[in-house]
Amino acid sequence: MKVSVQAVAVWGKIAPSHSITAIMITDDQQTIVTGSQEGQICLWNLSSDLKISSKEILFGHTASVTCLAKARE
Domain residue ranges in the chain: 20-59
Contacts of 55 (CB under 8 A, 6+ apart): 10, 31, 42, 43, 44, 45
Higher-confidence residue of 73 and 71: namely 71
Q: What is the pLDDT of residue 61?
A: 84
Average pLDDT over residues 24-43: 91
Amino acid at 14: I
pLDDT of residue 35 exceeding 60, the answer is yes
Amino acid at 59: F
* Cα-trace Rg, the chain: 13
How many other C-beta atoms can be found within 10 angstroms of the C-beta atom of residue 19? Answer: 11
Q: 23 with 33: CB under 8 angstroms? A: yes
